[in-house]
A and B are shown apart, each in its own frame.
Chain A
Amino acid sequence: MLRPRRLAMAALTAMLALTLAACSQDQPNTTFDPHSDFGGAIDSLWDKLLFWGTLVFVLVEAALIFVVVRYRHREGRPEPKHVHGNTTLEILWTVLPAVILVLIAVPTVKTIFRFQAAAPANALQVNVTGHQWWWEFEYPQYGFRTANELYLPVGRTVNFHLRTQDVLHSFWIPQLGGKRDLITNRTNYLWFTPDSTLGSDVWNGFCAEYCGASHANMKFRAFTIPAAEFERWAAHQKSPAVFGATVPAAGAPGAAPATTPAAGTRTAATPPGAPATATPAAGTAQTPAPATAPTPGAIAALPVSTGQTDASLGFTIPRADYADPKTPIPEGLTFQSGLTGDPERGRQLYFGAGTCVVCHAIAGTQAASPIGPNLTHVGSRTTIAAGLYPNDFEHLARWIKNAPAMKPGIIMPVFGKGLRDPKTNAPGRLDDAQIADIVAYLLALK
C-alpha cells in the first residue's frame, strides 16, 4: 500500500515539474497574454476565476486529505461517534460558495454587457464568411475580398460580421480574444481593439467549431500592423491584380519596385477616408477592372514568394516561426523537379475550360466565381489551403496537382494528369509543366 502511494507522489511530482516546464515555454497561442481590450477583459475575469478556483481547490482537497489521513482506521480505536448532520454547517457551506459566486457573477455580467454592446460606429468592418474549410474576409469599407489572411490595424476597433456559407464554424484568434460561432442563416458579431502598443505581429487563428473532415485544417492568420501600413495594404488589396506588374525583375534588388500604372494607388499615402467611400456592397467581382492587358514580357524567372518583407508592397508582412506552417506534404505526392513555369502560359491555363477560373476569383479579370478563395493577391500571402501549408512553389504545385490528398474532404478537384479525383473519379488533366505554369502565374499575383 505504501509503494503505490509513493509511486503516486513521484508521479504527481513529475507531473508538476512537467507542467511547470510547460508553463515557462513560449506559448504562441496562449490566452493568458491577450493583445486586445476584449482579450484583456476576459483575462482579468479568468484571473478572478483562477484565484477563487484555486482557493476552493486547495481548501477542499486539503480538508479531504486531512480527514482521510487523520481519521484512517486503526485497530483498537473506539467506534466513531454517530454524527449524522449539522444544520449550521450545512447553511455555512451553502452560503459561502454563494458569496464567492456573487464575486464572480458581478464582473462576469459587466463584461457580458460591455462586449455584446454594439461596436463603435467608426470601427473597421470585416465580413467573415466561413466555408468548408477556409475563411473569406471582406472589407466592405474598402471594397475588396481576401482569404485566410486577415490584416488589422492596431489601435482601431474591428467589428467582425460572422456568417457561414455552409455548416457551423467558429472564429477564434486566441491571442486577440474569445471566439464566436458562425451560424448558418444568421449573422453574428464580434469586436475588439488590437492593442495600440502592438507593432507588426502575426497571430494564429483557428476554426473552433467542428465542421467536418478538415476541421483541423481550417486555420487562418491575423496580422496586426500599424494603421498607415494597413491603409497601404488595403489600397494594395483593392487594386486589381495586375499580373506581373508589381514584381521586380529577376535579379534586380528587391528595393526598387517597377513603376506601373497601378502602382500609383499603392505608393501614395492614401488617407483613411478615401477607400471607405467604396460601398460595402462592392465586392471584388464588381470592382471596375482596368482593362490592362497582362504584360507577360516583364516576367522572367519569378522570385518565389518566401513571404519575406516585400518592400514593393508598401507594407511589412509580419512573420513568426509559429505562423509558418510545418504540415508535412503527405507521402507519395511527387512533382517533377526543375520546373519553374511560365506565368503567361499559366494565366492562359487559369482561364481555360474547367480549371481555376471556375471557382477562384481574381479582381480585374473575368474570374469572378465565389466558390473558392479569392486569389487576387495570392502571391503576397504567406500560406495556402487555410493556413495549412506555406505559400511556395513546392506546396502550391502539389496542391494544384492533388489538393484532396493534401487536405481531406475538400471540393477542389484533382488536376494532376494520371490521378483521379476521390469524389467524382474524374481524371486529372494537367501535367506537371502546366501546373508549374499556373503556379508561376499565381505567385506573380502579388
Chain B
Amino acid sequence: MATATAPIHATAHYYHEEPTGVMSWLTTVDHKRIGVLYLYTSLFFFLVGGLEALIIREQLNGPNGTLVSAETYNQLFTMHGTTMIFLGIMPLSAAFFNFLIPLQIGARDVAFPRLNAFSYWVFLLGGIFMNVSWLFAAAPDAGWFGYAPLTTRTYSPGLNIDFWAIGLQILGISSLAAAFNFLTTIINMRAPGMNLMRMPMFTWMSFVVQFLLVLAFPVITIALVFLQFDRLFGTNFYSMAAGADPLLWQHLFWVFGHPEVYILILPAFGLVSEILPTFSRKPLFGYPVMVYSGIVIGFLGFAVWAHHMFAVGMGPIPDTVFALTTMLIAIPTGVKIFNWIATMHGGAVRFTTAMLFGIGLVGLFTIGGISGIMHSSPPADLQQTDTYFIVAHFHYVLFGGSMMGIFGGIYFYFPKMFGRMMNETLGKVHFWLMFIGMNLTFFPMHFAGMYGMPRRIYRYDAGQGFEVFNMMSTWGSRMLAVGMLVFIYNFFRSKMAGPVAGNDPWGAPTLEWSIPSPPPDYNFAQLPTVTSRYPLWDLKAPQLTREVPHTREGDKTTHVEFAGADAGDAKLSSTDRTRQPVAASTGTSARTAARQDWEENRLPSAKALGIPMPLSTIKPLIVAIGIIIMFTGMLLRSHEIAQIQAAGGEGSTMPSVIVILIGAFTLVGSLYWWLLTPLEEHH
C-alpha cells in the first residue's frame, strides 16, 4: 500500500540539457519525447471517444431516448469506434512502441528519428482533421467499417464520409511510416547480444504488430482510394448502379480489419507479459511458446477475416473454412492465457496497480475470447452478429484486453517515463472502478444481444426486454467515467509531485530499468552487451533466471553495462537499493534514499559524453502539414462536387486544385529541405 505521498520537490529533468518550451516539443526527434507526445495525444482522443460513448449510453439509458437525434447518434457511434481504434488504442500502443522499444533493445533511438517525428505529426494532424468534422456538423456517420454502398455519394452526399475516408488515409500514412521505422529499429538496432530469443516480450509482440501494420494497412489504403476515386472522380468501384459488388469493400475492409484487431491487442499482451513476471518475481512461463503463439496469431489473423461476414451469404464452403480458421486462432490465444497463469503460479504476486490491470486483462480477455468462439460458429453467429452480443464481445477484447493492458502499462512505465511514481491508492481506486464499471457496462450487453437487440440503433422501443440491460450498461459507463477522472487526477498529480522513482522501482528484469528515470536523451551512456533475456535479474537476483535458456553461460559472463557516468558497482548498489519500489516503502528513509538517488543520478549531457544524437528539426512537422493541406484540398474538392451536383452542373473546382497544389509544394519542398540537412552534428 502506498503511503509515501509526501512529494520530493525536485525537477524530474535531472539531466542538464533537456530542452524545454513549445519549440522543443515541435522539433523533437527523441523517441522518448515523441512517445510522451503520443501518450498525451492518444489519451486526449481516448477521452473524446469516451465522451462520445457516454452520450451514446445516456441516449440508450431508456427506451425511445431523445437526447440526440438519429443523425447525431450515428455520427457518435461512428466516431466512437473510429476514435477508439485509430486515435485511442493504436497510438496508445504507439506511445509504448516509441518509448520502450529502443530502451528494451538497448538502442539510443529508433532507426529513423525524424521519420518518427513525422509519424507523430501526421497522426496528430489526422486526428484533428477527423474531429474537425464535428465543427461542420458533418462527422463521419457510416460506421467505423463504412460499408459500401452507404458510403458512396448516392447515399452519403455530405462531407461526412470524406472526413472519414481522408482522415483514415492520413492516419494510415502515419501508421505505415511508424511500422517501417520500428521494423528497421528492431531488426537492426538491437544491442550486442540481444538476439531475437532474448528480446523482451513487449518488443516481440510489437515486432509482430509492425508486420501486421505493414501488411494490413495497404489493403485499407486501397479500399479507401477506391472509395475516394468513386466520390471525387466518378469511378465505379462501389457504384451499385454500374453493377459493383458491395462485397469488394467488405473483403478489403476485413482483410485489413481483422489483423487490425491483433494490432490493437498484441501490444497489450506484450505489456502484460512484462508486468506479470515482474510482479510475480518469476520469469515468463514458456517464453518461446509465447513468442511462437504471437507469431501464429499474426499469421492466422490474416486468414479469418470473413468471419465478420457470415451473414452475407458467402455459401457453405467459405463459411466452413473461415469458421475453422477462426476456431484455430483460439488455440494460440488460449496458450497465452495459460502461460500467463503459469507465470504467476508459484510466484510472489504483488498487487500493484499495474499488476491488477495485468491480472484484469487475463481474466477479462478470457471472456472476450470465449464469446469469440461462440460466434466462430457461423449458424450461431447468425443470431449474434450485428447485435449487442458482438458489442459485448469486442469490448471485452478491446477494453478488457487492450485497455486493461495499456492502463497496466501506463502504471508500470510511468516511473520510467516521468521519473516519478503514480499514486497506488488512487491507482487501485481507478482499477476497481474500471474493472467493475467495465463488467457492468459490457456484460449485460451479452443478454441484450441474445434477447434480440440489434447494434447501431439510436433508440429502441419500450417493452422489448432491452430496458434493464441498457440501464445497467449506462450505470456502468458512468462508473467508467468516474474511474477515468480518478486516473487523470492521479496522472497529473503524480507527474508533478509523485515520489521520485529511481532506476528500477519495481525490480524488473529488462534493460530499460537499468538506466535512469526518465532516461537521458542518449538512453545508454555505453551500449549494453546482453547475454540474457533478463539481464537485470541476472545481476540482482540470479536465482530467478539461472535455468532460463540463453542465460546458462550468461550467468557467469553477464556484464550489463549501466548507463550514466557512474556505471559500475556504485551504480549497481544504487539500483539494488531501489529495487523495492520507493512508493511501497514507508517513512523518511525512502524519501531520503530517493533524494540521494536523484542527487547521484545527475547525468552528463550527450555532448559531454561525446555521443552524437540526431538534431532537433521542425521539418517533419512541415512535411506533415503539407500532407494535411493536400488532403484538405481533396476534402474541398468533394464539397465542390456536391455543390456542382446540387447546382445542376454549375461551379468550379479551381479552389481545391489550388489548395492541393499548395500542399504538394509544401510537402515536396520541405521534404527536399529535410533530406538535405544532416541528421547529426558534424564532429
Residues of chain A touching chain B, judged by Cβ–Cβ distance below 8 Å, are 1, 4-5, 7-8, 11-12, 15, 18-19, 21-23, 25-32, 39, 41-42, 45-46, 49-50, 52-53, 56-57, 60-61, 63-64, 67-68, 71-74, 77, 79-86, 89-90, 93-94, 97-98, 101, 104-105, 108-109, 111-113, 115-117, 132, 162, 166-168, 170, 172, 174-175, 177-181, 183-186, 188-189, 204, 206-217, 321-322, 324-328, 408-409
A108 CB, min distance to chain B CBs, angstroms: 4
A420 CB, min distance to chain B CBs, angstroms: 17
For the complex of A and B, the 7 pairs showing the least CB-CB separation, nearest first, are A178-B382, A29-B452, A216-B457, A174-B452, A408-B70, A4-B432, A188-B313
**Most A CB within 10 A of own CB, among B382, B443, B464, B472:** B382
A35 CB, min distance to chain B CBs, angstroms: 13
* B69 in the interface (beta carbon within 8 A): yes
The verdict on A408 contacting B443 (CB below 8 Å), with A86-B286, A112-B320, A326-B461 known, is no
When the two chains form their complex, are residues B370 and A56 in contact, meaning their CB atoms are under 8 A apart?
yes
The verdict on A108 contacting B548 (CB below 8 Å), with A82-B283, A101-B331, A208-B386 known, is no
Flag B68-95 by CB within 8 Å of A: 1 or 0 each: 0111001000000000000000000000
Residue of A nearest to B447 (CB): A22
12 contacts between A and B (CB under 8 A): A60-B341, A71-B344, A71-B347, A74-B348, A84-B287, A86-B342, A112-B319, A112-B323, A177-B382, A184-B240, A324-B463, A326-B64
B279 CB, min distance to chain A CBs, angstroms: 8
When the two chains form their complex, are residues A28 and B465 in contact, meaning their CB atoms are under 8 A apart?
yes
When the two chains form their complex, are residues A104 and B383 in contact, meaning their CB atoms are under 8 A apart?
no
* B451 in the interface (beta carbon within 8 A): yes
B31 CB, min distance to chain A CBs, angstroms: 30
Residue of B nearest to A203 (CB): B452
Q: Enumerate chain B residues within 8 angstroms of A67, measured Cβ to Cβ.
A: 341, 344-345, 349
When the two chains form their complex, are residues B335 and A80 in contact, meaning their CB atoms are under 8 A apart?
no
Q: Enumerate chain B residues within 8 angstroms of A53, measured Cβ to Cβ.
A: 370-371, 373-374
When the two chains form their complex, are residues A116 and B315 in contact, meaning their CB atoms are under 8 A apart?
yes
Known: A42-B380, A80-B348, A104-B373. 12 other contacts (CB 8 A): A7-B436, A15-B443, A71-B280, A93-B334, A101-B330, A111-B379, A112-B320, A168-B147, A178-B311, A216-B70, A322-B463, A327-B64
Q: Within the assembled complex, what's the spacing in Å between the Cα atoms of A274 and B522?
A: 88
**Most A CB within 10 A of own CB, among B311, B350, B373:** B311
- The 8 Å CB contact of B447, one of A19, A175, A186, A214, is A19
Q: Enumerate chain B residues within 8 angstroms of A28, measured Cβ to Cβ.
A: 452, 463-465
When the two chains form their complex, are residues B379 and A115 in contact, meaning their CB atoms are under 8 A apart?
yes
Q: Enumerate chain A residues within 8 angstroms of B385, measured Cβ to Cβ.
A: 179, 208
Residue of A nearest to B476 (CB): A15
A325 CB, min distance to chain B CBs, angstroms: 6
Flag B220-254 by CB within 8 Å of A: 1 or 0 each: 00000000000000000000100111110000000
A41 CB, min distance to chain B CBs, angstroms: 7
Q: Enumerate chain A residues within 8 angstroms of B472, measured Cβ to Cβ.
A: 15, 18
When the two chains form their complex, are residues A112 and B451 in contact, meaning their CB atoms are under 8 A apart?
no
* B649 in the interface (beta carbon within 8 A): no
- The 8 Å CB contact of B451, one of A31, A162, A208, is A31
- The 8 Å CB contact of A216, one of B283, B348, B458, is B458
Chain B contacts with A in 296-330, Cβ cutoff 8 A: 311-313, 315-316, 319-320, 323-324, 327-328, 330
When the two chains form their complex, are residues B461 and A71 in contact, meaning their CB atoms are under 8 A apart?
no
When the two chains form their complex, are residues A181 and B450 in contact, meaning their CB atoms are under 8 A apart?
no
A253 CB, min distance to chain B CBs, angstroms: 32
Residue of A nearest to B541 (CB): A79
Among B359-367, B592-600, B664-672, the one that faces the other chain is B359-367
A421 CB, min distance to chain B CBs, angstroms: 15
Residue of A nearest to B150 (CB): A167
B392 CB, min distance to chain A CBs, angstroms: 12
The verdict on A27 contacting B465 (CB below 8 Å), with A81-B346, A213-B71, A408-B69 known, is yes
* B545 in the interface (beta carbon within 8 A): yes
**Most B CB within 10 A of own CB, among A73, A81, A82, A189:** A82
Residue of A nearest to B246 (CB): A184
Q: Within the assembled complex, what's the spacing in Å between the Cα atoms of A58 and B450?
A: 21
A81 CB, min distance to chain B CBs, angstroms: 6
* B428 in the interface (beta carbon within 8 A): yes
Q: Within the assembled complex, what's the spacing in Å between the Cα atoms of A50 and B377?
A: 12
- The 8 Å CB contact of A185, one of B246, B381, B382, B429, is B246
* B182 in the interface (beta carbon within 8 A): no
- The 8 Å CB contact of B383, one of A1, A46, A185, is A46
Q: Within the assembled complex, what's the spacing in Å between the Cα atoms of A214 and B456?
A: 10
Chain B contacts with A in 495-545, Cβ cutoff 8 A: 541, 543-545
**Most A CB within 10 A of own CB, among B147, B244, B451, B461:** B461
Q: Enumerate chain B residues within 8 angstroms of A63, measured Cβ to Cβ.
A: 341
The verdict on A328 contacting B64 (CB below 8 Å), with A108-B377, A216-B458 known, is yes
When the two chains form their complex, are residues B544 and A82 in contact, meaning their CB atoms are under 8 A apart?
yes
* B439 in the interface (beta carbon within 8 A): yes
Q: Within the assembled complex, what's the spacing in Å between the Cα atoms of A104 and B350?
A: 38
When the two chains form their complex, are residues B432 and A7 in contact, meaning their CB atoms are under 8 A apart?
yes
Q: Enumerate chain B residues within 8 angstroms of A12, measured Cβ to Cβ.
A: 436, 439
When the two chains form their complex, are residues A85 and B288 in contact, meaning their CB atoms are under 8 A apart?
yes
Q: Within the assembled complex, what's the spacing in Å between the Cα atoms of A168 and B249?
A: 12
Q: Within the assembled complex, what's the spacing in Å between the Cα atoms of A101 and B325?
A: 11
